[in-house]
Structure 1
Amino acid sequence: MDGATFDLLARWLHFIAGIVWVGHNYSSVVQRPTWQPLTAADLRDPDSPRLRAVINREHGTFRWAAVVAWGAGIAMLAQRGWLLPAFTLQGTLAPLGLGAWIGTLMLANLWLVLWPHQQKVLGLKPASIAERLRCSRITHLSSRTNTMLSVPLLFFMAAGSHGGHLFAG
C-alpha cells in the first residue's frame, strides 16, 4: 500500500472512530445531564431498567473505537515521521502533539480507570453492593473527564492543520 492510500485510510479510520468515541461521551452527557447514582436496589436486581440501560449503553464499541482512533492517529504521525517531534511539542507539530497527549490521557483514563470500575458496576467482576455504588460514581466522573478533555483535544487536532504556524517559535 502506498503512502497516500495509507494516509487516506488512516485519516478516515481516525475520524470515524473518533466520532464514535467522543460522540459516545457527548451522548452520555445529553442523555444524562445530571448524574443520578445507581441505587443498591438497581444493582441487586439484574433486570433493573436503570442497570440494563447502563449495560446496553456500555458495550465495547466505544472502548475499541478509542483504541482505533488513537492507534490510527499514532500511525499517521509515525508514517509521516512526525511522532517524536509531535510528542516532544516541536514547532508547528506542537498542537498535534498536545492533541496526541490529551488523546493518550483520555485513552488511559478509559482503559485504566473507567473500564475496571465499570466492570464492577455491571457485575462483570465480583464486588459488594457498596463497592459497586462507589465505582458507579468513579465511572461517571471518569466519563465526564474524558468529555471535557475532548474539547481541547479537538481544538489542537484542528489547530495542527489550521493554524499550526501560530505555534512555531
Structure 2
Amino acid sequence: MQLPALDLLARYAHLLFALVWVGHNYANFIQNPRFVPLQNGIDTATLNRDLEVRMRREHGIFRYASIVVWATGMAMLWQRGWLADALLLQGPLAVIGLGAWIGTFMLLNLWLVLWPHQKKLLGFVPATLEERVRCSRITFLSSRSNTILSFPLLFLMAAGGHGLHFF
C-alpha cells in the first residue's frame, strides 16, 4: 500500500529528529571534549544547582527524538517491504540494515545504559555522591559511544539510498 504523504512525513520526521538526537551528541562532544570527574569534596547544593542548569540546557527532548528516529526508520523499511531483508542483512539491503542495527544499538544504549545512570547523576533518583561520581564516567562513555557510532550510521544511511551500487 503506497501512502506518499505518510512516507514524506516519515522521512522528514526521521531526518528532523535525527538532527536533534545526533546533534545533541555532537554538541555534548564539543562542549565536553574530555572526561572531568565529579569531585568528592564538592558541596552537594552546588552540585545540584550545576546539574539542574545542565539538565535544562542539554536534556530536553533528545531522548524522545531517538524513539521517533528509530520508529520512523523501521516504519519506512516495513512500508517498503524491506524490513526483514534489512534486519537479516541480506542482499543489497544489508547496507541499510547494518545502519538500522547500529541505530538500534544506539537507542538501547541511550535508554538502558545512559539514561538510568544519568537519572542518578542529575538527582532524579537518589544516589550517594560516590555513586554519582561513578555514574558520571559511565554517562560520559555511553554518550561518546553513541557519538562515535553516529558516523558509520550516517554513512550507511546515505550509502543505502545513494551509493548502494558500490557495495
CA contact (8 A) 2:48 2:123 kept: no
Output the CA distance in 2 between the equivalents of 1:104 and 1:6. 22
Say if 2:159 is the partner of 1:132: no
Q: Match for residue 55 of structure 2?
A: 55
Q: Match for residue 32 of structure 1?
A: 32
1:53–1:39 distance in 2 versus 1, CA, 3 Å: farther
Moved more, 9-18 or 41-50: 41-50
Output the CA distance in 2 between the equivalents of 1:72 and 1:140. 27
Aligned residues between the structures: 167
How big is the shift at 1:127? 1.1
CA contact (8 A) 2:24 2:58 kept: no
Moved more, 92-101 or 44-53: 44-53
Q: Match for residue 96 of structure 2?
A: 96
TM-score by length of 1: 0.92
Instruction: Quote the sequence identity (%).
Output: 57
Unpaired runs of at least 5, structure 2:
none
TM-score by length of 2: 0.93
How big is the shift at 1:2? 5.3
Output the CA distance in 1 between the equivalents of 2:118 and 2:124. 8
Q: Match for residue 23 of structure 1?
A: 23
1:88 is aligned with what amino acid? L
Q: Match for residue 67 of structure 1?
A: 67
How big is the shift at 1:41? 5.0
1:11 is aligned with what amino acid? R
After superposition, the CA RMSD in angstroms is: 1.8
1:47–1:138 distance in 2 versus 1, CA, 3 Å: closer
